[in-house]
C-alpha cells in the first residue's frame, strides 16, 4: 500500500471501529460473519457514489486464488478501499502502510485484521527506513511462497498527474526476484482521477473534509439518487511480464499498462441539483516552477555531479536528467542521496518525492530545496477567522515583555493569537492556561537561565513565556551550528537544562547533527507535559480566568533573552537583549511599517533566529497580531497550503525560503498575501522577478538587521519600496556611515561601514573579554556592525558587503575563523601558516574555500571539520593549492591577495581544486 493510502486506511478504520470491529483480532485469512457483514456494508456505501464495473477478476479466480501478487495503479486515495472491499474475502491480500499512521487506537487493530503491516515512511525516516522496507518485502515474498496473496502499489504514491509515474521504484522487481513463482495480476483503475479523493485539484486530498462534504451532498440528493461516478477496475494476468529484465524494463511495462488511454481528470456533480453535468477538468500544475540552476556555483555543481557519477557509473550527467528515469535511482536511493547532501552541505535537502531531477539536487545543495507535497491539513478552528477591527496594529504597551503580553491579553483574552498544525489555534487565555500549568515545572529547573531548543511553533512561544514568568531568562539554542558550538554556547550562558523535543533531536540525528553528548541537559517537552496532572490542569484553567493579579506581580528577569552570534573568531558570543531593547525594536517596526489589525503572519523562522524571535514570536504575543507557525521552512508545499488555509497576509522569511514557496505554490494559494518581508540574506534579483511575475499585487519589503540590534536596523516601507535596497534606518536609531580606515563619515553615495546606536542596541556581550564591539565617534559610543552600505539622497541604504569574516549560508552566519582554527589544529605547522580559509565573493551563493600549500583531500578536510563538532554548513567546497600563504606587514594573513587567486575550479583529488 502507498504511504498515502494510510489516510484511506484511517478512514476505513474509523468507520469499522465505530461499528465495533477490533474487539477480536483474527489471523489474516480467517474471517468471521461480522467481517463479511462489515465489508458487505462497505461495498454498499461505495455504491451510493460510485458505479463500479469489474472485469477480469473471475478469470483470475478461476485459475486459483493462491500466491498472487496484485499490483494496482493508484489514481486516488479511495481506490485502496474499493480494492479491499472487492478482494475480501476471496483473496484477503497482505499489504503495508505508514507505521506512524497505523500505530493509533482502533486503526492498529483494524490494520491487523486487514493484514496491513506497519512500515516506516521513506519520506519521514529516510535511509533508516530501508532495512524495515527490505524486511517487509522479504516477508511478503515469504507469504507468496506460502501461497498467500500480496497487494503492492509499485509507485508507492497516489497519482500527481493524469498518468502513473513509478519514479524508478524497485519494490516490484525486488519482490518478484524473491518469489519468482508467484502469479502477477495487474490492476488498472479508471474513473477516479478528478475526484475529491485525488490530487487532480492541485493539492493533497482532504479525506475527512471530503467525507463530510460527500455525506451532505448525498442527503441533498435523497441518498440513493445522487449522481454516480463511473469507475472500472480491470484485472489482467499478463503472460509476457518482463520479470527478469531489470527494474527499468519492468517499470516501463507497468507504466505502459497503467497509462494506456489514461482518461483526463473528470468532474462528476455531487447532487442532482447541479448544472453542467460531467465535464473534463483542467489538469493540475506539476512540481515546482523555476528550476533555474544558473546561480549554482561551479564547485558545488562539480561535487554533486561527481557523487552522481560514482553512484550510477554514468559518465555524462545533465541538470535536466531525471534521477529515477534517467539515472535509475529509486525512492530509497534518493533518500540516501538526501542524507548525503545534508551531510555534505549542511542544508535541508527536501524529501524523496521533491528530489526528482539533478537540478533539484543542485538547488538543494545551495539551500534552495523544497518539500513540495504536504500532508493533509488538520481542520482550523472557526475562531481564527472571526472578524477583527480595522485600523493599525498598536505598538506594545509596557516596560517588559511580560507587561506587554499581559496588556494585550487583557484587551483580547479570547482572541486567537498563535496557531500551528500540532496544537491548533490558541487564544491569549489558552496561553495563560499553559503558562500556569507549566510554571511549577519550569521553576524546578536549576539556574537563572533555561535553554529552549525548538523550531517555530506554538510550543516555543509557550515555553518562552513560561520561562519569564518562572523568573528565568530564556536562552535560545541554535542547533544548526553543530554540537561543538551548541555546547560552548550553553556553557557560556551557564545553562544546565534545555527544553527541546525528542522528535526534533531524531530529525537532527537523521541530518547528521549528533547532540547526544549534551543529552544530560535535555528536558523533553513530551515528558514535561506528561508530568502535569489533571488537578494542576484544572487549577491552571481557573487561574487563566482569576489569577491575573499573581502574574502581574512577577518580576521579569533581565535580560529578556540570550541569543548567540556565529563567532567572529572561532566560537559563538552570547548576546543578551533586554526587555527595553526588544520592545524598542517592535515599536520602531510598527511605526515604520503599517501593519493592520486584519493582518496575520506566516511564522517559519526558528526562534534562535533574531528576526524570527522578534518579528514572528514576540510581536504577535505583545500586540495581538495572529501568527500561524510551521516548524520546517523548507516544506514549501505545506507553507503555501498554510497561507491559503489560514488566509495569511504577511510572509516573513529569508529570500531562499520565500523563493521556495513561490516555486511550488499554485498562484491562487497566495492570493491572501499583501506583504513579503525578507531579511537575513540579500534578496537576489531572481526572487524579485519571480514574485513580481506571479504575484504583482504582493509588495516585497527587504530589510537588514543584526542580532546585537534586536535585530532590525533598516527596512523598506510599503508605500515606496526600493528594489534591491534595505530601506531606511528605523526611527529611534542614529546611524553613521564611516570610512573603514579613517573612521570619518563618508559622503552620501559612497560606501562605508555602518555604525548604529539607540534603544534597541545591546549593551555588550556576556562573559566576553575580547575587543569591544563599540567604537567612539563624535563623543558617543556606536555599535560597529562590520557591514558595508551606501546611502542615496532619500536616505535609503543599500547593502554593499561585509568586513567581518563570515559567509552567509542557508540563512546562517558561518564563521570562517572557526573552520580555519579546526584545520590549523590538524594540519598546522610551526614554520608558518600553511592554510587559510575564506569564502567566494558571491553574496547569493558563497562557498567556503580552503587555500593550502600542500596536497589535501577535500573529503578528509570535511571529516576533520565534522569530527570537531561543526555542522555541515562549515564544509569546504573548494580547495585552492597555493605556493605560500601571503602575509600583511602585521604578520596576519592577506585574504585579499588570496581572493585574487580564485579561478574556475578543476577536478582534483577528493573534489574541486584550483591551481593558479
Mean pLDDT, residues 603-628 taken together: 95
Asked whether residue 765 carries a pLDDT value surpassing 90, the answer given is yes
446: which residues sit within 8 A by CB, 6+ positions away? 496, 497
- The pLDDT-based confidence of 308 (bands split at 50, 70, 90) is confident
Asked whether residue 915 carries a pLDDT value surpassing 70, the answer given is no
pLDDT for 265 equals 87
pLDDT for 165 equals 78
Cis peptide before 559 (omega within 30 of 0): yes
875 vs 496, residue with greater confidence:
496
CA distance 650 to 361: 29
Asked whether residue 20 carries a pLDDT value surpassing 70, the answer given is no
Mean pLDDT, residues 295-305 taken together: 79
Asked whether residue 581 carries a pLDDT value surpassing 60, the answer given is yes
Range of 82-96, 642-656, 888-902 with top mean pLDDT: 642-656
230 vs 372, residue with greater confidence:
230
Range of 150-164, 516-530, 727-741 with top mean pLDDT: 727-741
pLDDT for 246 equals 77
CA distance 458 to 631: 10
Q: For the segment 355-366, what is each residue's pLDDT rounded down to a tens digit?
A: 778 888 887 777
CA distance 262 to 252: 15
Angle at 190 between CA 200 and CA 357, to 5 degrees: 50
Asked whether residue 575 carries a pLDDT value surpassing 60, the answer given is yes
CA distance 818 to 144: 57
pLDDT for 2 equals 43
CA distance 817 to 814: 9
pLDDT for 549 equals 81
pLDDT for 111 equals 64
pLDDT for 10 equals 42
- The pLDDT-based confidence of 118 (bands split at 50, 70, 90) is confident
Asked whether residue 587 carries a pLDDT value surpassing 90, the answer given is yes
pLDDT for 23 equals 27
Asked whether residue 280 carries a pLDDT value surpassing 50, the answer given is yes
Phi and psi angles of residue 771, each rounded to the nearest 5 degrees, phi first: -60, 145
pLDDT for 236 equals 93
Asked whether residue 29 carries a pLDDT value surpassing 70, the answer given is no
Average pLDDT, the chain: 82
CA distance 752 to 736: 9
pLDDT for 185 equals 93
Sheet strands side by side (includes 878-881): 835-839, 848-852, 878-881, 911-914, 906-908
Range of 220-234, 518-532, 704-718 with top mean pLDDT: 704-718
pLDDT for 107 equals 58
pLDDT for 810 equals 67
Contact 470, 420 (CB under 8 A): no
3-class secondary-structure state, position 201: coil
- The pLDDT-based confidence of 348 (bands split at 50, 70, 90) is low
Q: Please identify which residue in the block is written with the cell numbers 495563560.
A: 432
- The pLDDT-based confidence of 7 (bands split at 50, 70, 90) is very low
Task: Tally Cβ neighbours within 10 Å of residue 569.
Answer: 14
CA distance 406 to 432: 9
Rounded to 10 degrees, what is the CA torsion of 850, 855, 861, 864? -120
pLDDT for 674 equals 94
Three-state secondary structure of 123-137: HHHHHHHHHHHHHHH
Q: Please identify which residue in the block is written with the cell numbers 515545572.
A: 441
Q: Please identify which residue in the block is written with the cell numbers 538543494.
A: 364
Asked whether residue 709 carries a pLDDT value surpassing 90, the answer given is yes
pLDDT for 31 equals 57
Asked whether residue 303 carries a pLDDT value surpassing 60, the answer given is yes
Asked whether residue 771 carries a pLDDT value surpassing 90, the answer given is no
Q: What pTM did the predictor assign? A: 0.72
- As a whole-number percent, the residues of the chain with pLDDT over 90 amount to 33
Q: Which domains does the chain have, with CATH numbers?
A: 5-280 (3.40.1130), 298-365 (1.10.1200.10), 382-713 (3.40.50.12780), 806-914 (3.30.300.30)
CA distance 844 to 297: 10
pLDDT for 811 equals 63
Q: For the segment 129-183, what is each residue's pLDDT rounded down to a tens digit?
A: 777 778 888 888 888 898 888 888 888 778 888 888 776 677 888 888 888 889 9
- What is the grid cell recorded at 54? 469489474
User: Strand pairing partners for 699?
Assistant: 675
pLDDT for 906 equals 44
Q: DSSP letter string over 441-486? A: HHHHSSSSEEEE---SSHHHHHHHHHHHHTT-EEEE--GGG-HHHH
Asked whether residue 694 carries a pLDDT value surpassing 90, the answer given is no
Phi and psi angles of residue 171, each rounded to the nearest 5 degrees, phi first: -60, -40
Contact 751, 791 (CB under 8 A): no
455 vs 891, residue with greater confidence:
455
702 vs 99, residue with greater confidence:
702
- The pLDDT-based confidence of 278 (bands split at 50, 70, 90) is confident
Contact 428, 409 (CB under 8 A): yes
Closest C-alpha to 681, from 565, 586, 848, 802: 802
CA distance 339 to 257: 34
Asked whether residue 436 carries a pLDDT value surpassing 80, the answer given is yes
Asked whether residue 855 carries a pLDDT value surpassing 50, the answer given is yes
Amino acid at each position: 500500500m502507498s504511504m498515502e493510502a494510510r489516510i484511506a486506511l484511517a478512514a476505513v478504520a474509523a468507520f469499522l471501529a465505530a461499528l465495533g470491529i477490533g474487539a477480536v483480532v483474527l489471523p489474516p485469512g480467517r474471517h468471521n460473519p461480522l467481517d463479511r457483514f462489515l465489508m458487505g456494508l462497505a461495498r454498499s456505501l461505495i455504491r451510493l457514489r460510485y458505479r463500479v464495473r469489474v472485469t477480469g477478476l473471475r478469470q483470475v479466480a478461476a485459475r486459483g486464488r493462491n500466491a498472487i501478487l496484485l499490483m494496482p495503479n493508484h489514481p486516488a486515495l479511495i481506490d485502496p478501499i474499493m480494492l479491499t472491499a472487492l478482494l475480501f474475502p476471496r483473496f484477503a491480500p497482505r499489504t503495508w502502510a505508514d507505521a506512524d499512521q497505523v500505530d493509533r487506537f482502533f486503526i492498529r487493530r483494524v490494520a491487523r485484521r486487514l493484514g496491513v503491516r506497519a512500515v516506516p515512511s521513506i519520506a519521514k525516516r529516510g535511509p533508516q527506513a530501508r532495512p524495515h522496507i527490505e524486511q517487509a518485502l522479504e516477508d511478503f515474498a515469504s507469504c507468496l511462497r506460502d501461497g498467500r496473496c500480496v497487494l503492492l502499489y509499485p509507485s508507492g504514491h497516489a497519482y500527481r498527474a493524469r498518468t502513473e509515474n513509478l519514479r524508478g521504484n524497485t519494490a516490484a522487481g525486488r519482490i518478484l526476484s524473491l518469489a519468482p513463482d508467484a502469479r502477477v495480476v495487474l490492476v488498472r483503475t479508471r474513473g477516479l482521477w478528478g475526484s475529491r479523493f485525488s490530487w487532480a485539484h492541485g493539492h493533497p486530498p482532504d479525506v475527512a473534509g471530503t467525507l463530510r462534504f460527500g455525506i451532505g451532498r448525498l442527503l441533498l440528493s435523497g441518498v440513493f439518487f445522487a449522481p454516480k461516478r463511473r469507475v472500472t477496475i480491470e484485472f489482467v494476468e499478463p503472460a509476457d511480464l518482463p520479470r527478469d529484465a531489470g527494474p527499468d524494463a519492468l517499470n516501463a511495462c507497468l507504466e505502459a499498462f497503467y497509462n494506456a488511454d489514461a482518461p483526463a481528470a473528470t468532474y462528476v456533480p455531487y447532487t442532482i441539483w447541479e448544472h453542467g453535468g460531467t465535464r473534463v477538468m483542467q489538469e493540475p500544475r506539476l512540481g515546482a516552477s523555476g528550476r533555474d540552476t544558473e546561480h549554482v556555483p561551479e564547485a558545488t555543481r562539480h561535487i554533486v555531479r561527481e557523487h552522481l557519477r560514482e553512484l550510477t557509473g554514468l559518465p555524462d550527467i545533465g541538470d535536466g536528467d531525471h534521477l529515477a528515469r534517467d539515472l535509475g535511482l529509486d525512492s530509497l536511493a534518493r533518500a540516501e542521496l538526501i542524507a548525503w547532501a545534508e551531510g555534505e552541505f549542511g542544508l535541508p535537502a527536501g524529501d524523496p518525492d521533491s528530489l526528482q531531477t539533478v537540478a533539484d539536487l543542485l538547488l538543494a545543495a545551495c539551500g534552495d530545496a523544497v518539500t513540495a507535497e504536504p500532508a493533509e491539513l488538520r481542520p482550523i478552528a472557526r475562531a481564527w477567522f472571526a472578524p477583527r477591527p480595522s485600523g493599525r496594529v498598536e505598538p506594545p504597551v509596557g516596560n517588559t515583555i511580560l507587561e506587554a503580553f499581559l496588556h494585550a491579553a487583557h484587551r483580547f483574552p479570547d482572541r486567537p493569537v498563535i496557531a500551528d498544525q500540532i496544537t491548533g489555534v490558541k487564544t491569549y487565555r489558552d496561553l495563560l492556561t499553559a503558562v500556569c500549568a507549566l510554571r511549577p515545572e519550569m521553576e524546578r529547573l536549576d539556574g537563572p537561565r533555561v535553554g529552549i531548543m525548538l523550531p517555530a511553533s506554538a510550543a516555543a512561544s509557550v515555553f518562552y513565556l513560561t520561562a519569564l514568568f518562572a523568573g528565568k531568562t530564556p536562552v535560545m539554542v541554535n542547533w544548526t551550528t553543530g554540537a561543538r558550538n551548541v555546547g560552548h554556547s550553553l556553557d557560556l550562558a551557564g545553562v544546565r537544562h534545555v527544553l527541546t523535543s525528542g522528535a526534533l533531536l531524531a530529525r537532527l540525528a537523521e541530518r547528521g547533527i549528533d547532540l547526544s553528548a549534551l543529552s544530560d541537559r535535555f528536558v523533553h517537552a513530551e515528558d514535561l507535559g506528561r508530568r502535569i496532572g489533571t488537578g494542576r490542569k484544572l487549577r491552571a484553567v481557573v487561574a487563566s480566568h482569576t489569577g491575573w493579579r499573581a502574574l502581574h506581580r512577577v518580576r521579569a528577569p533581565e535580560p529578556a533573552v540570550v541569543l548567540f552570534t556565529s563567532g567572529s573568531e572561532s566560537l559563538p558570543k552570547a548576546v543578551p537583549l533586554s526587555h527595553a531593547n526588544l520592545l524598542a525594536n517592535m515599536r520602531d517596526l510598527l511605526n515604520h511599517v503599517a501593519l493592520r489589525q486584519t493582518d496575520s503572519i506566516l511564522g517559519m523562522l526558528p526562534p534562535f533566529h533574531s528576526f524570527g524571535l522578534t518579528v514572528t514570536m514576540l510581536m504577535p504575543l505583545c500586540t495581538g497580531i495572529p501568527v500561524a507557525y510551521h516548524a520546517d521552512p523548507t516544506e514549501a508545499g505545506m507553507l503555501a497550503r498554510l497561507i491559503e488555509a489560514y488566509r495569511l497576509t504577511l510572509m516573513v522569511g529569508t529570500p531562499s525560503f520565500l523563493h521556495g514557496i513561490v516555486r511550488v505554490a499554485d498562484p491562487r494559494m497566495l492570493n491572501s498575501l499583501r506583504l513579503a518581508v525578507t531579511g537575513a540574506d540579500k534578496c537576489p534579483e531572481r526572487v524579485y522577478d519571480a514574485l513580481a511575475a506571479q504575484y504583482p499585487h504582493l509588495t516585497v519589503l527587504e530589510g537588514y538587521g543584526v542580532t546585537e540590534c534586536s535585530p532590525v536596523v533598516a527596512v523598506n516601507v510599503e508605500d515606496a519600496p526600493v528594489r534591491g535596497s534595505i530601506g531606511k534606518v528605523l526611527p529611534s536609531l542614529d546611524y553613521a556611515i564611516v570610512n573603514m580606515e579613517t573612521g570619518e563619515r563618508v559622503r552620501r553615495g559612497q560606501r562605508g561601514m555602518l555604525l548604529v546606536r539607540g534603544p534597541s542596541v545591546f549593551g555588550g556581550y556576556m562573559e566576553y573579554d575580547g575587543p569591544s564591539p563599540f567604537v567612539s565617534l563624535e563623543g558617543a559610543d556606536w555599535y560597529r556592525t562590520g557591514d558595508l552600505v551606501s546611502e542615496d539622497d532619500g536616505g535609503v541604504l543599500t547593502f554593499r558587503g561585509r568586513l567581518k569574516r563570515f559567509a552567509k549560508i542557508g540563512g546562517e552566519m558561518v564563521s570562517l575563523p572557526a573552520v580555519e582554527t579546526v584545520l590549523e589544529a590538524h594540519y598546522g605547522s610551526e614554520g608558518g601558516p600553511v592554510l587559510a580559509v575564506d569564502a567566494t565573493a558571491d553574496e547569493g551563493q558563497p562557498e567556503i574555500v580552503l587555500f593550502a600549500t600542500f596536497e589535501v583531500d577535500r573529503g578528509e578536510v570535511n571529516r576533520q571539520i565534522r569530527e570537531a563538532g561543526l555542522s555541515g554548513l562549515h564544509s569546504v567546497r573548494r580547495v585552492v593549492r597555493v605556493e605560500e600563504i601571503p602575509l600583511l606587514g602585521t604578520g596576519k594573513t592577506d585574504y585579499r591577495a588570496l581572493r585574487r587567486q580564485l579561478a574556475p575550479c578543476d577536478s582534483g583529488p577528493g573534489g574541486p581544486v584550483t591551481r593558479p
